[in-house]
């Protein structure tokens, strides 16, 4: 999925042998194998597209410090150990007290401090965003413009000064999405490596992540393998593009099998999956997003499980709510059911018997 336009109005040994193929995957049944639970989710203080996030965006600015901590705890309770912060700024304002830009008018004076403190206590690992300091929808500009780079690097330095002491500050996420059309564009490739160069200087032990869209175009490609070999990124968490109807559920496994083969040959970045557990009220991209049915989400999980190290989702907030939560965001109908169905599945596979107390 092109998450910039998300809902807009305007284990590995089980994998098949490494065999090159240039054929676009065809629809097949997902392989029968152990289904890996979802171990992480994207996380946001506000979604940048207001129409699509209609059902949850209004609630988030009203959250207190305790409600933000509750969200993190409830995500941890359902097995989400990796949280990926979508943005630290939006429309010229930040989600934390900053010397660079004014702060968004949230009830909680410092949502960043609240969620990282809760994550510290629980052992949750955050990938912290390094953007949207400039317009989120001007991607080429954001990746190449000198002023955008100035704000980005200054912001990264400030975020480390303020929050780098948190043990939950696990890594960085670059939210200007890299489109994949068999290969990455040169400007996106250069943007990723330049971001990582800053990270290696500021926080040498932090991991780095991108989440490309364009999985529908994946083919076995030697040029892409060479890019993977020289791309300075620790984790690539590919969007499965099911939620935006670009890939049918039954096709997902074949695309991720090809990605697994190419990542294995490159031997550098780790392969994760970003499954889209949403649907739409009406037309794709032109109506608000709603939770997907659990049966579809489970099939998505099944499809990627043989090929990826970890499965993350887009996203808990707005599409899942623990019944009775004091930090509710989204439609009551659908969000509690998806939460309950997923938790029942975890219980049925015995996952809760091994969960941290």
- pLDDT (tens digit per residue) in 84-95: 999 999 999 999
Query: In this structure, are strands 183-184 and 180-181 parallel, antiparallel, or unpaired?
Result: antiparallel
Residue closest to 136 by CA, chosen among 93, 106, 195? 93
Would you list the domain boundaries of the chain?
A: 3-351
Q: Is 110 left (phi over 0), alpha (psi -120 to 50) or beta?
A: beta
pLDDT band at 48 (very low <50, low <70, confident <90, very high): confident
Helix (H, G, I), strand (E, B) or coil at 224: helix
Please state which of the ranges 5-19, 130-144, 214-228, 235-249 shows the lowest mean pLDDT.
5-19
The pLDDT of residue 34 is 86
Quickly state the pLDDT bin for 356 (edges 50, 70, 90): very low
189: nearest Cα among 199, 181, 178, 200 = 178
Q: How many angstroms separate the CA atoms of 113 and 164, rounded?
A: 11
Which residue stretches of 109-185 are H helix? 111-122, 139-144, 146-163
Q: Which of 163, 217, 174 is nearest to 198 (CA)?
A: 174
Angle made by CA atoms 347, 123, 132, in degrees to the nearest 5 = 105
Rounded-to-integer distance, Cα 332 and Cα 221, Å? 44
DSSP state of 310: -
Per-residue model confidence as pLDDT tens digits over 226-262? 999 999 999 999 999 999 999 999 999 999 999 999 9
**Does residue 354 carry a pLDDT above 80?**
no
Whether the per-residue pLDDT at 208 is higher than 70: the answer is: yes
Neighbours of 5 (CB within 10 A): 17
Q: What is the mean pLDDT of the chain?
A: 90
Q: Alpha-carbon distance 18 to 252, whole Å? A: 18
pLDDT band at 69 (very low <50, low <70, confident <90, very high): very high
Contact 183, 225 (CB under 8 A): no
Tally of CB atoms within 10 A around 77? 14
CATH class for the region spanning 3-351: alpha beta
- Which pTM was predicted? 0.91
Q: Looking at the DSSP assignment, which residues form a beta bridge with residue 239? A: 274
CB contact at 8 A, 168 and 125 = yes
3 state DSSP class of 347: helix
Q: Coil, helix or strand for 74?
A: helix
- Are residues 46 and 94 in contact, defined by beta-carbon separation less than 8 angstroms? no
pLDDT for the residue 334: 95
Percent pLDDT > 70 in the chain is 89
What mean pLDDT is predicted for residues 199-211?
98
Query: Peptide bond preceding 315: is omega within 30 degrees of 0, i.e. cis?
Result: yes
Extract the tokens encoding 163. 């929050």
CA distance 293 to 334: 8
Average pLDDT over residues 202-216: 97
Axis crossing angle, helix 294-304 with helix 252-266, rounded to the nearest 10: 30
Answer for the pair 173, 196: CB distance below 8 angstroms, yes or no: no
Q: Which residues contact 176 (CB under 8 A, 6 or more apart)?
A: 4, 131, 132, 136, 139, 142, 143, 191
Location of structure tokens 């020289």: 230
């Amino acid at each position: 999925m092109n998450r910039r336009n998300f809902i807009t109005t305007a284990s590995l040994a089980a994998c098949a042998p490494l065999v090159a193929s240039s054929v676009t995957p065809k629809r097949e049944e997902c392989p029968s194998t152990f289904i890996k639970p979802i171990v992480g989710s994207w996380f946001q203080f506000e979604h940048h597209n207001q129409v699509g996030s209609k059902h949850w965006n209004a609630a988030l600015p009203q959250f207190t410090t305790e409600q933000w901590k509750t969200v993190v705890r409830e995500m941890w309770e359902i097995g989400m150990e990796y949280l990926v912060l979508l943005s630290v700024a939006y429309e010229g304002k930040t989600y934390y007290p900053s010397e660079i830009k004014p702060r968004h008018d949230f009830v909680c004076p410092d949502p960043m401090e609240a969620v990282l403190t809760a994550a510290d206590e629980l052992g949750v690992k955050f990938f912290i965003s390094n953007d949207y300091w400039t317009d989120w929808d001007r991607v080429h500009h954001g990746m190449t413009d000198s002023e955008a780079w100035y704000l980005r690097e200054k912001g990264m330095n400030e975020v480390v000064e303020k929050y780098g002491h948190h043990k939950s500050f696990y890594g960085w996420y670059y939210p200007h999405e890299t489109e994949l059309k068999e290969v990455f564009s040169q400007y996106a490739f250069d943007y990723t490596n330049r971001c990582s160069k800053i990270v290696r200087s500021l926080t040498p032990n932090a991991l780095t992540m991108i989440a490309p869209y364009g999985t529908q175009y994946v083919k076995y490609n030697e040029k892409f393998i060479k890019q993977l070999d020289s791309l300075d990124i620790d984790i690539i968490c590919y969007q499965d593009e099911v939620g935006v109807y670009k890939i049918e559920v039954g096709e997902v496994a074949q695309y991720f099998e090809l990605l697994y083969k190419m990542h294995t040959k490159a031997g550098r970045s780790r392969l994760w999956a970003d499954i889209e557990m949403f649907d739409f009220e009406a037309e794709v991209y032109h109506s608000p997003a709603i939770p997907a049915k659990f049966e579809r989400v489970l099939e998505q999980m099944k499809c990627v499980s043989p090929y990826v190290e970890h499965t993350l989702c887009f996203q808990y907030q707005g599409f899942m709510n623990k019944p009775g939560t004091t930090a509710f965001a989204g439609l009551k109908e659908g969000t509690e059911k998806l939460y309950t169905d997923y938790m029942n599945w975890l219980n049925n596979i015995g996952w809760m018997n091994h969960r941290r107390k």
